[in-house]
Amino acid sequence: MSPELQKKLIDDHPELYRHELPFGIECGDGWFDLLDQLSSQLECLAGDIPKNSEHYPFATQVKSKFAFLCWYGENLTDEMEATIEEASQRSKVKCETCGKPGKVVQKKRWYVVCCEEHA
């Protein structure tokens, strides 16, 4: 993901991304909205957990893997895990480059989600 969008995501959800991700956010810009929405949902589900608490959820790795979004974190409840799984399902039909509807295609050794234009 471009440095600008990564910064925006982290600035908008500072507690969730309080620990620097070693490889940054490893997916295309097309999934920004999906990640932004997922992050808001997780914040909502965190409910009464104080934002400065060590028990507040946070991301440890965010990446595209076999053409779907993987969001790994700590302090996640079952409900949060289910929400992350839903976001992963939605990523499978969203072009990773532009966010338009897409499908999984193989590019060299990688599987990625592409719309017709970016296939």
List of residues contacting Zn ion (CB under 5 A) = 95, 97-98, 100, 115, 118
Report whether 103 contacts 89 (CB < 8 A): no
Q: At its nearest, how many Å lie between Zn ion and the CB of residue 34?
A: 14
Shortest distance in whole angstroms from residue 91 CB to Zn ion: 13
Helix (H, G, I), strand (E, B) or coil at 114: strand
Residue closer to Zn ion by CB (options 83, 97) is 97
Nearer to Zn ion, 29 or 36 (CB): 29
Nearest distance, CB of residue 86 and Zn ion, angstroms: 22
Distance CA 56, CA 105 (A): 37
Give min distance, CB of 48 to Zn ion, in A.
Answer: 40
Per-residue burial over 8-25, b if 16 or more Cβ lie within 10 Å, else e, is ebbeebebbbeeebeeeb
User: Which CB, 87 or 95, lies closer to Zn ion?
Assistant: 95
Of the candidates 101, 30, 20, 116, which has an alpha carbon nearest to the alpha carbon of residue 60? 20
Q: Which is nearer to Zn ion, 63 or 103 (CB)?
A: 103
